[in-house]
Structures are given as C-alpha cells and as structure tokens.
Amino acid sequence: MNDTTSDSHFDYDLFVIGSGPGGEGAAMQASKGGMRVAVAEKYTQIGGGCTHWGTIPSKALRFAITSTMKALRNPTFQELGVQVSPTLQQLRRGTQSIIGKQVTMRQSFYERNGVPVIQGTARFLDAHSISIDGDKPIRAKHFVIATGSRPFRPEGVDFSHPRVYDSDTILGMTHKPTTLSVYGAGVIGTEYASMFRNLGIKVNLINTREKLLEFLDDEIVDALAYHLRDQGVIIRHNETMKKVEATDDGVIVHLQSGKRVKTDAFLWANGRTGNTDNLGLENIPIEANNRGQLVVDEQFQTAIPHIYAVGDVIGFPSLASAAYTQGRAAAMHMLGRKDGNLRVNDIPTGIYTSPEISSVGKTERELTAACVPYEVGHSLFRSLARAQITGETTGMLKLLFHRDTLEILGVHCFGANASEIVHIGQAIMNQPAGHNTVEYFVETTFNYPTMAEAYRVAALNGMNRLF
C-alpha cells in the first residue's frame, strides 16, 4: 500500500461521489486497505439508481409479475375458477420493503467500516477539493466519481404528460394501460416490453436498429425475437421517431417511415445520460462527452490521474455488477495493486426479459470474424426433466468451444434462471489451460433433475460433432 494514510494535507485519502454499486465498491475496498474514506450522496438514502430506480425495483416488479401470472395461468387455479387481474399497485407492494432491506444492509457496510456518508450534492472546486451544497471545502488525495446515469430525455417529448414515461417514472405508473409503445429496444426497452406483455398489455416495441440487442449471439437474439412475437409483442425494426404526440386519450408516435402508432401509454427507453452536469467539472477541468459520460483508461482513471470514474457514468456496460467490480478495481489501483483490474473484461450479460438471457465470452459472429475454429454444443430446455417439472421449457444453453483444444470460448443461455446458470460455464472458462474445456462437463456428475445438467447435454451434443 502507498503512504496515503499519513498525508495530513487532506481530510480524506479518498472521497467518493455517489453511493451506488460503483461508489460502494470503491469505498469498501479502499477502507479495508487502510485509506480514510468518505462518501457524498445527494439522494435521501444510499444505494443509488440501482437500489431506488433501476435494478432492484424493476427486478422486484418483474418477479411479482411473472410469479403472479404464472400462478394465475396454472390449470389448478383455472379449474378452481380463480380469475383476477392484479393492479400495478398490488404487484409493486413488496418492492418498498425490499428497497428498505437493501438500504439498511448497505448502510451497515459504511458504519462497520467507519466511512461517513454525507448527504448533499458534491461539486469540484479544484482538482483536490469539493464542496457539498456550498459548505466548506473538503480536500482529498483521490476521488472516485460514481454518479451514475439517468434516462436521456429528448426535446419535443413531454415527460410531464401522465401517459408519457421514461425508465425511472414507469415504476410509478398507477393505471394499467391496455396498450403500450416502447421506443428503444436495448436492454431496458426489451425488459419492459417483456414485463408488460406478461401482464396482458399489448406492446409495440420500436427498435431503431436492425436487430434486437445486437451485442448478443445471433441465435439468442433470434430466439428472443421469436419468443416476444410468440407472446404477442409487435416488433418494429429500423424505425426512427419523428415526433411524439400526447393526447387525452393516448399517445401517437409518428415515425420517419410515415407510420403512426397509437397506444394508451408511451415509454421512452432510448439512451441514458451520465450524471455529470452538476459536478463542477469545469473547475478541474475534465470534459464529459455528448452523452454526459467520462472517458477513463483501463485503471478507471480520468484525464486527471488521481480522479477515477466508475459505473454508468463511464457508459458501457452499464450494469450494477460491473460498476461494483470497477469501483473495487479503482480502489485497488490507488492502493498500489496496479494489476488488480478484477477480471473487468469477464463481465457476463444479464438481461431480465421473460425468460431471461445471460452470456459470457465470445459470440459465433466474433469467432467467425477472427477465424477461430469452433464447434457448438446445444441443450434445449424442453428436453431437461427439471424444466419439464417446472413447466419452464422455453430456452436453451449454448456452448462454443475450440475444435482442437476443446477450450470453452463462449457460454450463451436463454431461458428461466439463465443469469444463474451462466456462472457455471464462466467458472470453468477461467480455469488454467487444460482445465477449461468441455470435457469437464462430460466427465462431471450433475444432480438430476437440475437445470445445471444442461451443461452435460450441451457438451455431449458438441463433442458428437467433432471428427
């Protein structure tokens, strides 16, 4: 560790702006390394957008919707004549208690590690000083900017209209619309389209690109598109918004192609903006890009080496899991562990559509472009006993592995519990050479019946293609 703790010129060795996953990861790692750390949080409670507006409330609502609707569609319930239509308020009822538990737990981390959390908006006065809500300057040797992001709001869209939402305000929707247009088919757009279709709402998903979620494996994308359409979602590719017309009885989306789509409500889910506009960056100076994001190097340092940035404020991949890892990596770098980037290039995707998607490693498209000789192993969930028992037979596990070395190159999963299942493959992928092959799955005994057994089925399927 370096000599930061003995530096009397500063109030703190590290000052963190933002208490979401990125800020928490940096603060906890630095504190455990012996640094004097403090955190500023402008919201009334800690946890950031992840806890209060994004990951936790949206995934809690998703679980409430999927579990409730699955139960209501159960033949036993239908035979009993149970026919109810839960309101959004009822489905959201448990969300606040979950958020409360998260806040209490995370508050205990700061208290246990002696890290003060100061409520208010922090602004840079110079490269080593910040002020919180205009109070006296606080000096720190290092800073981590972890201010997160918010939905991008274009001019010409009236977000004050009761029928117009973004991904923050949609969680406060009180009425259940009959129809909904979602503009933007990225992760957030597809998740909400899937979620609201599950409630029986007719959904138009308007995509500005040629395919859904183009960073995913093509086969997974095709499976998702087929499944959404099979559920009744209308997907409109290669469309660009001309204007949004909000009226008393609905919202009309005018598209550049000449099409017009009218629905009861409208969700804007096209892009996010980094929360950098009130940081006083002009006093440092560091410039944000046109999306309000900060550019960092591999160690998460900005143009000013002692000021780091992590999480959504630096853009892709905009995942809570990635933000926490990035925060820890930045703190390790401050502590002198320059190699401590904590597998930041090994971050799995987790997309909570219904069913969900998760992947890690290379796609077929990437391997083909790189001329890597690979083979594919498939396991369709409908052939697994556990999936047949639970009734969640939609989906598959797909393994990509090197034809010669048998090294696992990519794991792609679409179906129930995909975000859990993927970590088994991730763990084997990262073993030393010779131990990171599909042979592990062929030679290992899996509990039966389980979803994990999909790895054995997929590995055998792929091995059968070798000659």
Q: Are residues 254 and 295 in the same domain?
A: no
**DSSP track, 98-146:** HHHHHHHHHHHHHHHTT--EEES-EEEEETTEEEETT-S-EEEEEEEE-
Q: Are 250 and 283 within one domain?
A: no
Contacts of residue 443, Cβ cutoff 8 Å, sequence gap at least 6: none
Yes or no: say if 156 and 243 are a contact pair by the CB < 8 Å rule.
yes
CATH of the domain at 437: 3.30.390.30
Total-model pTM: 0.92
190 marked among binding-site residues: yes
Cβ atoms of 98 and 106 closer than 8 Å: no
Same-domain pairing of 145 and 231: no
Q: Is residue 57 part of a domain?
A: no
pLDDT in 10s for each residue of the chain, 467 residues: 444 444 678 999 999 999 999 999 999 999 999 999 999 999 999 999 999 999 999 999 999 998 888 888 778 777 777 667 788 888 888 888 899 999 999 999 999 999 999 999 999 999 999 999 989 999 999 999 999 999 999 998 999 999 999 999 999 998 999 999 999 999 999 999 999 999 999 999 999 999 999 999 999 999 999 999 999 999 999 999 999 999 999 999 999 999 999 999 999 999 999 999 999 999 998 999 999 999 999 899 999 999 999 999 999 889 999 999 999 999 999 999 876 666 766 889 999 998 999 999 999 999 999 999 999 999 999 999 999 999 899 999 999 999 999 999 999 999 999 999 999 999 999 999 999 999 999 999 999 999 999 999 999 999 999 99
Q: Is 365 found in the same domain as 217?
A: no
Q: Is 457 part of any known ligand binding site? A: no
User: Which of 39, 10, 35, 18 is CA-nearest to residue 129?
Assistant: 10
Q: Is 195 found in the same domain as 104?
A: no
Does residue 191 lie in a domain region? yes
Last residue of a domain, one of 252, 270, 288: 270
Task: Please indicate if the annotation marks 185 as binding a ligand.
Answer: yes
Q: Are residues 240 and 308 in the same domain?
A: no
Whether residues 244 and 314 share a domain: the answer is: no
Residue 187 marked in a binding site: yes
- Identity of residue 416: A
277: left (phi over 0), alpha (psi -120 to 50) or beta: alpha
Same domain, 147 and 281: yes
Is 148 annotated to bind ligand? yes
Q: Is 18 annotated as a binding residue?
A: no
Do 187 and 282 have their domain in common?
A: no
Q: Is 167 annotated as a binding residue?
A: no
Which of 413, 320, 353 lies closest to 102 in space, CA to CA? 320
Assess if residue 228 is contained within a domain.
Answer: yes
Q: Determine whether the annotation assigns residue 149 to a binding site.
A: yes
Residue 215's CATH number: 3.50.50.60
Q: What is the DSSP string of 32-72?
A: HTT--EEEEE-SSSSSHHHHHTSHHHHHHHHHHHHHHHHHH
Query: How many folded domains does the chain comprise?
Result: 3
**In the block, residue with structure tokens 């002198």:** 336
271 is in an annotated binding site: yes
Please check whether residue 70 lies inside any domain of the structure. Answer: no
Any domain includes 86: no
Residue 100 lies in a domain: yes
CA angle 362, 395, 65 (to 5 degrees): 115
Domain limits for position 406: 355-463
Q: Do 286 and 138 fall into the same domain? A: yes
